[in-house]
């Protein structure tokens, strides 16, 4: 059996063999499907070997399997088997692409997942990855078998996630991709504490890491899984969507992954209403702009009943969407920037985000807010928070919110900080124990939240000795953007009024 370290080093070496040839954000799109295909091919070989014992010999087994693909996980046609791929010496890119398309053709589940990459692609007449580089990549990947007895799904899956993380670290994130650090995923999974057979949904699932971690957390806890979790995810970016599908298969998990913008076009419906779930997890894009009041107003799924977020940040659009996707006992864990729980509080006058937050506090839906350490996420040094919603809080937690300040619970790393395992446990335990811990957690009443003008920023309630003197610049900018948006609206209204009563306005006609 391959251990995780060996797997990681090997896969990373493979990645490095084509690095430089391709733009950082792109090269993972080539290597991840290849590893995936290698796994499929090796597993298929193992399955044929097992079936040949049953049917007498290998040829018979293949013949029977060609007629009934259901006997194996995935059917790999002869010309697409890894050994065939490896044998090619000319036109490698072209043949590799053909082989992968042949696999997709035989396995509808893989269509749109593995066949989206063209290994023969060119940019201004130049191959993106030339045959020489491809050949050495294939050679490196061939060094180890990835069959059922060689690599456990969990271990292989973790190595796969490791690669995703490495790509994210190497500034390999393109716009709209926000790989969630695994520690954050574990904290969310341990806090939500999934139970057998529950349905889990991630409306911004990326490569599916948070869904996978829920399942793994359940496995850690239970001796025997009678009913695994049912996983549902939606992702907007089609490359990342493909990654999520592969991630599920490599982890040997069943997941229903849909593609599309969940705010505009949620895919999991029951008739015309939103499907609801036991647990919802997500790390949506922070402070996403581009969704205006008309968009929220025209929503037909009753998601934004507690107010329309400002155009400058869809944070509370995502939160409301996730809340609307919870069943009556549902719980959600959402990663967002710290501003989402603080913006607008303490300001004179109204603020849309604060008003929505007020509605959530007053309805007693917020169970906890955790402040994370800084420099954890790949696209920002900002700390981020985890917001925990619970539609049916246990009795002793009613009208109460736990605020946790984990900002010191990390170890320095390069380029990013990380949360070691013992601290992940400490954080999850503190949530479940539900006690005040000096400089770490504080349980407040909803009235206390009201007194603080619905500012739920944990550092406001739980000092850890490290004074935060400066608010994050991004956070202030989002707040300013909302103010400017509202100012413009008032300017236009006032201009109309002045024109009406004095025949003269102060804005230029557009």
Partner 1 sequence: MKTKAVIENGFKETEIGLIPEDWEVVNVDKYIQFERGTEPGSENYNKDKKGVRFLRVVDISGSRDDKTYTTSKKLKLCKKKDILITFDGSPGIVKQGLEGAYSSGIRKVVIINKDLFSDYVYYVLQTIYVQRTIEKYTTGVTIKHSSKAILHIKIPFFSIQEQQKIAFVLSKIQQAIEQQDRIIETTRELKKSLMNKLFTEGLHGEEQKETDIGLMPKSWDVRKINEFAKIKYGKQKPKIIGQIPVVGSSRIYAWCEKPLINFPTLIVGRKGNAGAVHLFLEPCWPSDTTFYLEWKSEMVTPKFLYYYMSINQLSGEHAKTTIPSLQRQDLENYRFPFPNISEQLDIIKAIDKIDKKLSQAESKKQTFQALFRTMLNQLMTGKIRVKIRVRDLDVEVN
484 binds partner 1 (CB under 8 A): yes
Taking the complex as a whole, the smallest distance from the CB of residue 309 to partner 1 amounts, in Å, to 17
Q: What one-character-per-residue DSSP string does 71-101 give?
A: GSSS---GGGSHHHHHH--SSHHHHHHHHHH
Taking the complex as a whole, the smallest distance from the CB of residue 487 to partner 1 amounts, in Å, to 5
Taking the complex as a whole, the smallest distance from the CB of residue 469 to partner 1 amounts, in Å, to 8
Return the residue of 23, 57, 195, 493 that touches partner 1, per CB under 8 A.
493
Stretch that binds partner 1, among 214-222, 314-322, 424-432, 490-498 (CB under 8 A): 490-498
Between CA 13 and CA 377 the distance in angstroms is 24
491 binds partner 1 (CB under 8 A): yes
Return the residue of 152, 193, 453, 486 that touches partner 1, per CB under 8 A.
486
Return the residue of 126, 297, 470, 509 that touches partner 1, per CB under 8 A.
470
Return the residue of 121, 225, 269, 480 that touches partner 1, per CB under 8 A.
480
Query: Counting every residue, how long is the chain?
Result: 510
**Are 212 and 251 within 8 A, CB to CB?**
yes
Backbone dihedral angles phi then psi of residue 72, each to the nearest 5 degrees: -125, 165
Query: 3-state class of 194 per DSSP?
Result: coil
Stretch that binds partner 1, among 46-54, 199-207, 362-370, 475-483 (CB under 8 A): 475-483
489 binds partner 1 (CB under 8 A): yes
Q: Sort residue 170 into left (φ over 0), alpha (ψ -120 to 50) or beta.
A: alpha
Between CA 144 and CA 14 the distance in angstroms is 11
Taking the complex as a whole, the smallest distance from the CB of residue 477 to partner 1 amounts, in Å, to 7
Taking the complex as a whole, the smallest distance from the CB of residue 494 to partner 1 amounts, in Å, to 5
HSE-CB of 438 using CA atoms within 13 angstroms: 1
Backbone dihedral angles phi then psi of residue 95, each to the nearest 5 degrees: -70, -35
50 binds partner 1 (CB under 8 A): no
Smaller CB separation from partner 1, 63 or 496: 496
Beta strands 441-445; 326-336: pairing state: unpaired
408 binds partner 1 (CB under 8 A): no
Taking the complex as a whole, the smallest distance from the CB of residue 335 to partner 1 amounts, in Å, to 22
What residues form DSSP beta bridges with 19? 22
24 binds partner 1 (CB under 8 A): no
State the maximum Cα–Cα separation within the chain, in Å, rounded to a whole number: 97
297 binds partner 1 (CB under 8 A): no
Taking the complex as a whole, the smallest distance from the CB of residue 509 to partner 1 amounts, in Å, to 12
411 binds partner 1 (CB under 8 A): no
DSSP category for residue 462: -
**Are 138 and 14 within 8 A, CB to CB?**
no
What residues form DSSP beta bridges with 226? none
What value, to the nearest 5°, has the Cα angle with vertex 303 and ends 177 and 348? Answer: 85
Between CA 349 and CA 356 the distance in angstroms is 14
What value, to the nearest 5°, has the Cα angle with vertex 356 and ends 352 and 358? Answer: 115
Smaller CB separation from partner 1, 68 or 469: 469
Return the residue of 473, 504, 508, 509 that touches partner 1, per CB under 8 A.
473
69 binds partner 1 (CB under 8 A): no
Residues that contact partner 1, how many (by CB under 8 A): 29
DSSP category for residue 509: P
Return the residue of 353, 367, 409, 479 that touches partner 1, per CB under 8 A.
479
What value, to the nearest 5°, has the Cα angle with vertex 341 and ends 338 and 347? Answer: 110
**Are 51 and 61 within 8 A, CB to CB?**
yes
Query: 3-state class of 277 per DSSP?
Result: strand
Write out the binding residues for partner 1, residues 449-468 only, by CB under 8 A: 451
Taking the complex as a whole, the smallest distance from the CB of residue 245 to partner 1 amounts, in Å, to 35
496 binds partner 1 (CB under 8 A): yes
Taking the complex as a whole, the smallest distance from the CB of residue 97 to partner 1 amounts, in Å, to 37
Return the residue of 469, 504, 508, 509 that touches partner 1, per CB under 8 A.
469
Nearest to 422 by CA among 214, 186, 220: 186
Taking the complex as a whole, the smallest distance from the CB of residue 346 to partner 1 amounts, in Å, to 10
Between CA 369 and CA 367 the distance in angstroms is 7
Between CA 187 and CA 427 the distance in angstroms is 7
Smaller CB separation from partner 1, 38 or 357: 357
Smaller CB separation from partner 1, 265 or 347: 347
355 binds partner 1 (CB under 8 A): no
Return the residue of 497, 504, 508, 509 that touches partner 1, per CB under 8 A.
497
Smaller CB separation from partner 1, 395 or 414: 414
Return the residue of 465, 490, 504, 508 that touches partner 1, per CB under 8 A.
490
Write out the binding residues for partner 1, residues 334-353 only, by CB under 8 A: 347-349
Return the residue of 500, 504, 508, 509 that touches partner 1, per CB under 8 A.
500
Taking the complex as a whole, the smallest distance from the CB of residue 447 to partner 1 amounts, in Å, to 11
Taking the complex as a whole, the smallest distance from the CB of residue 342 to partner 1 amounts, in Å, to 12
502 binds partner 1 (CB under 8 A): yes
Beta strands 277-282; 326-336: pairing state: parallel
Query: 3-state class of 468 per DSSP?
Result: coil
Backbone dihedral angles phi then psi of residue 230, each to the nearest 5 degrees: -100, 125
Cis peptide before 65 (omega within 30 of 0): no
Residues that bind partner 1 (CB under 8 A): 347-349, 451, 469-473, 476-477, 479-480, 483-484, 486-487, 489-497, 500-502
């Amino acid at each position: 059996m391959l251990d995780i370290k060996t797997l990681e080093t090997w896969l990373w070496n493979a990645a490095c063999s084509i690095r430089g040839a391709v733009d950082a954000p792109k090269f993972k799109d080539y290597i991840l499907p290849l590893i995936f295909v290698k796994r499929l091919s090796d597993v298929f070989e193992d399955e044929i070997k097992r079936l040949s014992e049953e049917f007498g010999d290998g040829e018979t087994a293949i013949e029977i399997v060609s007629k009934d693909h259901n006997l194996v996980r995935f059917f790999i046609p002869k010309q697409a088997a890894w050994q065939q791929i490896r044998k090619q010496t000319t036109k490698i890119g072209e043949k590799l692409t053909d082989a992968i398309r042949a696999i997709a053709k035989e396995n509808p589940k893989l269509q749109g997942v593995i066949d989206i990459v063209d290994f023969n692609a060119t940019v201004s007449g130049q191959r993106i990855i030339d045959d020489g580089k491809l050949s050495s990549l294939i050679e490196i990947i061939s060094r180890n078998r990835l069959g059922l007895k060689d690599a456990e799904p969990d271990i292989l899956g973790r190595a796969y996630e490791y690669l995703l993380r490495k790509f994210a670290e190497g500034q390999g994130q393109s716009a709209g991709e926000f790989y969630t650090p695994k520690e954050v995923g574990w904290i969310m999974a341990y806090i939500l504490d999934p139970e057998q057979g529950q349905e889990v949904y991630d409306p911004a699932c990326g490569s599916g890491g948070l869904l996978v971690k829920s399942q793994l957390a359940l496995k850690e806890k239970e001796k025997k899984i009678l009913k695994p979790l049912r996983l549902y995810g939606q992702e907007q970016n089609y490359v990342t969507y493909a990654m999520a599908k592969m991630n599920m298969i490599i982890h040997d998990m069943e997941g229903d992954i849909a593609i599309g913008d969940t705010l505009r076009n949620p895919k999991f419906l029951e008739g015309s209403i939103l499907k609801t779930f036991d647990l919802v997890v997500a790390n949506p894009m922070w402070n996403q702009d581009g969704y205006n009041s008309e968009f929220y107003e025209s929503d037909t799924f009753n998601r934004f009943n507690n107010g329309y977020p400002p155009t400058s940040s869809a944070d509370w659009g995502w939160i409301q969407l996730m809340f609307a996707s919870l069943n009556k006992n549902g719980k959600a864990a959402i990663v967002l920037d710290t501003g989402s729980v603080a913006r607008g509080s303490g300001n004179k006058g109204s603020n849309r985000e604060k008003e929505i937050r007020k509605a959530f506090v007053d309805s007693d839906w917020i169970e906890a807010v955790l402040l994370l350490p800084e420099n954890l996420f790949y696209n920002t040094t900002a700390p981020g928070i985890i917001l925990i919603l619970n539609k049916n809080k246990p009795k002793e937690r009613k009208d109460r919110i736990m605020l946790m300040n984990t900002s010191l619970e990390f170890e320095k790393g390069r380029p990013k900080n990380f949360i070691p395992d013992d601290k992940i446990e400490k954080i999850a335990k503190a949530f479940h124990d539900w006690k005040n811990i000096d400089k770490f957690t504080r349980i407040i009443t909803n009235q206390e939240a009201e007194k603080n003008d619905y500012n739920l920023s944990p550092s406001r309630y739980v000092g850890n000795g490290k004074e935060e003197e400066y608010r994050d610049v991004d956070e202030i900018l989002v707040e300013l953007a909302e103010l400017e948006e509202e100012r413009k609206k008032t300017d236009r209204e006032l201009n109309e009024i002045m024109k009406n009563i004095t025949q003269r306005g102060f804005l230029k006609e557009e």
